[in-house]
């Protein structure tokens, strides 16, 4: 028998088996498929994948896909967690740095500006003393005021 | 027509195609079921020996859970080319929904190599040519309807638009009534042989009978209750036809085949017209 003809029949039967609408019908078409497949020399018999086998392969693929999906989710989760951790860490570091900077800043705070040496400040500091006395209409620095000025300058 | 030859024309008419008058005396509930009419017209000559033989049997009986079929022509001159001869073949049978149908199957290539069709069939009873190109009005080669396993079911021989097959099965879930007919003895000489005649049988095998065929403990074929209706036209005088009465009912799944025989041993031509009404219960 013409091999091309048998080939066509095998393909046709394969299609019928795959599209059978009931088990009985599938069995019937499978019988035809076997009938025609046997007519081909063994070497030329096409690899026949039945719908059942196809479904099995699909199931395995689906399961693999599910596993891959779960792995992907786990990886994503780990990534997010790592990112969150890094962010928290960065925040913490930033916070600590800020705190440290604040402390450093506190340490480096400049000395209060020395009070201006004048009689007002002197009299504020020593309310019961005078910075000047008047002698013969001339203003003369008092001893206390002189000491105040000398003392403050020498500090 | 030589002794032993026979031809059957089978057609299925839908309710809308049946003349109103023909169903006038039917009970309303049958009319309400929109019955179909299976019309069988046989032209034949029994063998030159007494003994009933099946008239125009199908090449193979398809009794299936439901399967698709193929068509093929032995001639490249049949096909879907405009200049081809036969382009389409129709089949009468029971489809996957247990309905008796006529379906036209068209060639899809110019050489009409094997063509797979989509209709699901449980049985196929008969075929006839139903579409032609400009080449000729009958098939150039043998055109057949076959299973995918290449078992030929019914066929047209080259030059003949009417295929074989004169038997049928009452579809599951349906009832069938013999709706009359006529057996007519015919002659080419104008004279009737006194000691000869024609006999026909309508053989009906119901599901129980068919089931009991073969298998352990089943009755032998000769003991099975196969029943038939028999009609004879014979002798030199009187009417050379017999009207077949209507009213006999066949239940679902009944197989009905037709047989003929010479009354003595000389095959004489005859025509047999039978109508069966089929409706869903």
Residue B27 contacts A, CB cutoff 8 Å: no
Contact A8 B114 (CB under 8 A): yes
Write phi, then psi, for B55 (nearest 5 degrees): -85, 125
| A9 vs B contacts (CB less than 8 Å) | 114, 148, 150
* Number of residues written out for chain B: 281
B-facing residues of A in 15-74 (CB < 8 A) are: 16, 22, 24-25, 28-29, 31-32, 35-36
For B89, the 3-state DSSP assignment is strand
What local confidence, expressed as pLDDT, does residue B227 receive?
85
CATH class, domain B6-57+168-280, is mainly beta
Distance between CA atoms of B277 and B259, rounded to whole angstroms? 20
pTM for the whole structure: 0.71
Return the exposure string of B57-90: e unless at least 16 CB atoms fall within 10 Å of the residue's CB, then b: bbbebbebebbbbbbbbbbebbbbbeebbbbbbb
Return the exposure string of B243-270: e unless at least 16 CB atoms fall within 10 Å of the residue's CB, then b: ebeeeeebebbbbbbbbbbbbeebbbbb
Distance between CA atoms of B273 and A13, rounded to whole angstroms? 40
Contact A16 B147 (CB under 8 A): no
What local confidence, expressed as pLDDT, does residue B220 receive?
55
CA distance B100 to chain A (A): 20
Residue A112: pLDDT band with limits 50, 70, 90: low
pLDDT digits (tens, 9 = 90+) for B94-113: 999 999 999 999 999 999 99
Gyration radius (Cα) of chain A, Å: 51
Interaxial angle between packed helices A23-37 and A3-19, expressed in degrees from 0 to 180 and rounded to the nearest 10: 160
pLDDT digits (tens, 9 = 90+) for B9-27: 999 999 888 866 677 788 8
Distance between CA atoms of B203 and B67, rounded to whole angstroms? 27
CA distance B67 to chain A (A): 7
Give the pLDDT mean for B207-227: 59
**C-alpha separations of B93 from A15, A142, B61, B87, B153 in Å:** 24, 142, 11, 20, 11
Report the range of poorest mean pLDDT among A47-51, A139-143, B37-41, B129-133.
Answer: A47-51
Helix or strand run (H / E) with residue B175 = strand B174-185
DSSP readout, A49-70? --HHHHHHHHHHHHHHHHHHHH
| B149 vs A contacts (CB less than 8 Å) | 31-32, 35-36
Helix or strand run (H / E) with residue B179 = strand B174-185
In the predicted model, is pLDDT for residue B212 greater than 80? Answer: no
Residue B208 contacts A, CB cutoff 8 Å: no
Domain ranges of chain B: 6-57+168-280, 70-156
Which residue, among A32, A36, A38, would best test binding to B if mutated, counting the most B CBs under 10 Å from its CB? A32
């Amino acid at each position: 028998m013409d091999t091309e003809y048998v080939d066509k029949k095998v393909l046709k039967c394969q299609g019928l088996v795959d599209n059978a609408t009931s088990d009985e019908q599938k069995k019937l078409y499978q019988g035809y498929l076997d009938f025609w497949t046997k007519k081909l020399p063994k070497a030329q018999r096409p690899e026949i994948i039945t719908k059942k086998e196809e479904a099995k392969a699909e199931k395995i693929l689906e399961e693999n896909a599910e596993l891959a999906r779960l792995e992907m989710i786990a990886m994503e989760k780990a990534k997010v967690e790592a990112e969150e951790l890094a962010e928290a860490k960065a925040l913490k570091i930033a916070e600590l740095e800020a705190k440290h900077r604040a402390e450093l800043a506190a340490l480096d705070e400049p000395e209060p500006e020395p009070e201006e040496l004048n009689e007002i400040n002197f009299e504020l500091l020593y309310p019961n003393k005078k910075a000047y006395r008047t002698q013969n209409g001339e203003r003369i620095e008092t001893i206390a005021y002189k000491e105040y000025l000398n003392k403050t300058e020498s500090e | 027509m030589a002794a032993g030859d026979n031809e059957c024309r089978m057609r299925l008419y839908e309710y809308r195609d049946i003349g109103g008058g023909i169903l006038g005396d039917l009970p309303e509930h049958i009319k309400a079921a929109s019955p179909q009419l299976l019309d069988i017209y046989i032209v034949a000559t029994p063998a030159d020996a007494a003994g009933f033989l099946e008239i125009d049997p199908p090449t193979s009986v398809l009794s299936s859970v439901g399967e698709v079929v193929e068509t093929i022509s032995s001639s490249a001159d049949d096909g879907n080319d405009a200049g081809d001869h036969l382009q389409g073949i129709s089949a009468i049978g029971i489809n996957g929904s247990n309905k008796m149908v006529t379906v036209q199957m068209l060639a899809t290539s110019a050489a009409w190599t094997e063509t797979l069709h989509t209709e699901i069939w449980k049985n196929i009873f008969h075929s006839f040519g139903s579409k032609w190109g400009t080449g000729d009005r009958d098939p150039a080669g043998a055109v057949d309807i076959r299973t995918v396993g290449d078992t030929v079911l019914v066929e047209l021989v080259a030059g003949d638009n009417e295929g074989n097959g004169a038997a049928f099965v009452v579809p599951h879930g349906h009832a069938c009534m013999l709706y009359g007919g006529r057996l007519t003895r015919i002659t080419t000489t104008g004279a009737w042989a006194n000691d000869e005649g024609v006999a026909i049988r309508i053989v009906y095998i119901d599901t129980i009978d068919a089931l009991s065929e073969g298998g352990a403990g089943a009755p032998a074929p000769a003991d099975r209750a196969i029943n038939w209706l028999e009609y004879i036209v014979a002798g030199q005088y009187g009417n050379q036809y017999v009207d077949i009465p209507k009213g006999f009912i066949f239940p679902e799944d009944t197989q009905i085949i037709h047989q003929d025989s010479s009354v003595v041993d000389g095959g004489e031509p005859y025509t047999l017209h039978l109508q069966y009404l089929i409706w869903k219960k």
